[in-house]
Structure 1
Amino acid sequence: MTTGARSGLDDTAAAPGPAAPDGPAGPQSDVPPGLDPTTTEVQPLEIVVVTGLSGAGKLSAGRVLEDLGWFVVDNLPPALLQPMVELGARGDIRRFAAVVDVRSRAFSSDLQEAIRVLADAGNRPRVIYVHARDDVLVRRYESVRREHPLQGNGTLIDGISEERALLTGIAGEADLWVDTSDLNVHQLRATLENAFAREGGTPPLTATVMSFGFKYGLPLDADLVVDARFLPNPHWIPELRPKTGKDADVSDYVLGQPDAREFLDRYTDVLRLLIPGYRREGKRYLTLAVGCTGGKHRSVAIAEEFARRLTAEGLTAAARHRDLGRE
């Protein structure tokens, strides 16, 4: 169990070590048995591996999962992932999450092999990759005055760059990317709750529709990007300028444009084509990013409408507005 409350996403100050949730102590034997995928006595576990860049918020993500009822272990070496899962399988743990950090140059291959072994044993491992922009990571480290674990005799940015290189392999295989550069702890919680909170009823594909402003940069964790700047901008209408795309009159203005409905209908048809393919390939999370100039009017209204349409298609979909309120 993670302990103590922190106000931000910074996980640079955390010390390594396992954490156990409050409640029953769990299995007591020091020698766990092998996990036999053919036996009917032990059901496969739901397993989530949280990894990513130091300082990006891995421990914050772990705390959210813990609040959602997962058994969470912090800073677990990849070599100990399978023994911990086997130990948990002997007790009443059905949802296990591990926060895995970079501790050796063999980290990526070790973790990938551990995940493969767990999958071969009949479990359902999923990987969350938590990351942030370099400037954000530097600011977080400087605020707590700590060195990066891979910094050595070099600079802070040297350590960040080396860690990014070590994480390349596992990042490419992650089920869910979470970019915390512009998230607060509440937005991080909402993102993970959207993906994991629906116990027993999680659909095969969960969608997040994110509005953003192009002037603040493209979202790094988007699977699909839509540009809404072809629509007239409510910013130039005095009575609409102070409002947002969540207000009814702004939404009506944006969605009432002659090209808006046709665009939404045609892109919804594209999504209908993509969704079955994503499901066949085992993709669990989809992030559709909708951009306009500032992320205040057009992108917000279009994102809300896409979320409504995806919900109607049978997905669990939620709209999130990255840059709303930044102006």
Structure 2
Amino acid sequence: MSEHVFPVIILTGLSGSGKSSGLKIFEDLGFFCVDGLPVSLTPVLIKLFAGQAETRYRGLALGMDVRQEDLDREWGEALAQIKTRSADIQIVFFEADTKEIIRRYATTRRPHPLESGGHGLERAVQVERERMSPLRDAADLILDTTNFSIHDLRRSLQEKWSFLSGKSGHLKIHIMSFGFKYGPPAEADLIFDLRFLPNPYFDTALRPLSGKDPKIARYVLGGEPGCTFLERFSDFLLYLVPLYALEGRYRLAVAVGCTGGRHRSVAVAEAVFDRLSKAGYTVSLEHRHIDKD
């Protein structure tokens, strides 16, 4: 799949096998996602997107299943039309063994779309397999999710479309500075206490400044232990972040704190933000308590 072509992904398969979860994953990857669109309207939607939404979205992901009554009749014709409008279309077919699908429906207590007075759940799954076989035969990727967790599913799709993530993965990192006297951020995944670093607060000339000022940065990080700490802390995060990305995380919030959240934590947060950004990661920065004192 080319990086320069607007991808169209069709997600289909057996009910209860993970298609809806797959659509959510593509939505988090920056795709425009539609579930349950009539097959006959699919080429129309793709035409509307051509050249208009490509700057806003990274692709188009469409969910199709047996709830769409025209799926059997119009699938072949619609697929031919889609391929004339998109040079980069791929079909992902989700399936699982019958016992696992029955177990999932028993857990959610939702009815299968083909269950009726004449069909129990097991028979409904069998009928659906038969009806969906043409889509399975046309699939570029078949995912058997019988033994998948949501993390396994996410990893499988991210690996298939890895170019969408680039060097740094799709993981977004949010760096926060804060003051312990005001409390750590509730949304933080990782919290680091920086109160061992030199404190500019006790220098009356530096006290009015914040960690954004180069004078504060030099005071906190220009000598020891600040200099060595910053190197090791940055290396630690550069080691850690890819491991979180492999687990399918979309966002990682890293909080660094000092007493008041104005000097040491701000200086470190600014330096870490700079290093992670230069390493190719998508990073945002927030100074939670910089103006409290």
**TM-score of the two chains, using structure 2 as the length reference:** 0.51
Q: What is the deviation of 1:136?
A: 0.4
Letter in 2 for 1:69: G
Give the paired residue count: 160
AA partner of residue 187 (structure 1): D
Instruction: Choose the corresponding residue for 2:27, options 66, 69, 73.
Output: 66
Match of 2:115 among 151, 161, 165: 151
Which of the numbers 14, 18, 27 marks the counterpart of 1:53? Answer: 14
Task: Say if 1:200 and 1:146 are closer, same or farther in 2 by CA, change over 3 A.
Answer: closer
The gaps in structure 1 that reach 5 residues or longer are 1-42, 202-327
Larger relative contact order (CA 8 Å, sep ≥ 6): 2
Q: How does 1:5-44 map to 2 (within 5 A)?
A: none
- Contact 2:37–2:68, Cα closer than 8 Å, also in 1: no
Compute the displacement of 1:129 (Å): 0.1
CA contact (8 A) 2:47 2:85 kept: no
Q: Report the counterpart of residue 76 of structure 2 in structure 1.
A: 112
Q: Report the more deviating stretch, 79-88 or 55-64.
A: 79-88
| Equivalent runs, 1:224-235 vs 2, <5 Å | none
In structure 2, the CA distance between the partners of 1:139 and 1:197, relative to structure 1 (3 Å rule), is: same
The alignment status of 1:171 with 2:132, answered yes or no, reads: no
Letter in 1 for 2:114: L
Kindly report which structure 2 residues correspond to 1:117-156, keeping only aligned pairs within 5 A, or say none: 117-153=81-117, 154-156=119-121
Mark the structure with the bigger radius of gyration: 2
Instruction: Render the CA deviation track for 1:180-199: whole Å, top value 9, x for unaligned.
Output: 10000001000000001313
* Cα shift readout 1:290-311 (whole Å, capped 9, x = no counterpart): xxxxxxxxxxxxxxxxxxxxxx
CA distance in 1, matches of 2:95, 2:156: 14
1:81 aligns with 42
Tell me, what secondary structure is at the counterpart of 1:101? Answer: coil
Cα 1:45–1:109 change in 2 (3 A) is farther
| Identical aligned residues as a percent | 31
Superimposed CA distance per residue, residues 178-228 of structure 1 (whole angstroms, 9 cap, x where no aligned partner): 011000000100000000131398xxxxxxxxxxxxxxxxxxxxxxxxxxx
Tell me which residue corresponds to 2:127. Answer: 162
What stretches of structure 2 of length at least 5 have no aligned partner? 167-293
TM-score normalised to structure 1 length? 0.46
Mapped contact 1:108–1:170 kept (Cα < 8 A): no
Give yes or no for contact 2:39–2:68 (8 Å, CA) kept in 1.
no
After superposition, the Cα gap between the structure-2 partners of 1:59 and 1:85, relative to the gap in structure 1 and judged at 3 Å, is same
C-alpha separation in 2, matches of 1:105 and 1:122: 24
Runs of 4+ more than 3 Å apart: none
